[in-house]
Amino acid sequence: MTGKRVACVALLLLLLLSSALFAACTQSPIEPRGDNEEKPPQNEAPLTGAALVETRCSQCHSLDRVSREREDQEWLEHTERMRAKSPDLLTDEEARLVLEYLQETY
């Protein structure tokens, strides 16, 4: 194969893999949780910010993205952007817990 042909094949493979990854991330929308004022069952402790990050945020991306250090304002903007993409993923209270956890931890 010529160098130009190898480059074209490599580019095509890259585009196919990128498309597959994009489709995998957007293929199944997050199920709405119903009423945003749901309370946890009485035998379960309320979720912490760390637990919410681990269980909810990891539904869309890996936790290593979360561990990046950001300023408080950046975390606020980032969490608002994520909530806009998946508005039913967290209640207002859960989002507050996640934001506080991220600002205190990273």
CATH code at position 89 = 1.10.760
Say if CB 48 and CB 94 are below 8 A apart: no
Burial 30-62 (b: 16+ CB within 10 A, else e): eeeeeeeeeeeeeeeeebebeebbeebbeeeee
**54-76: pLDDT as tens digits:** 999 989 888 887 777 889 999 99
**Residue 60 domain flag:** yes
**The model's pTM:** 0.56
**Residue 74 domain flag:** yes
For residue 5, the model assigns a pLDDT of 77
Distances (CA, A) of 18 to 22, 52, 104: 6, 28, 34
**Residue 102 domain flag:** yes
Q: Looking at the 3D structure of the chain, how many domains does it have?
A: 1
- Residue 70: domain span: 45-106
**Residue 19 domain flag:** no
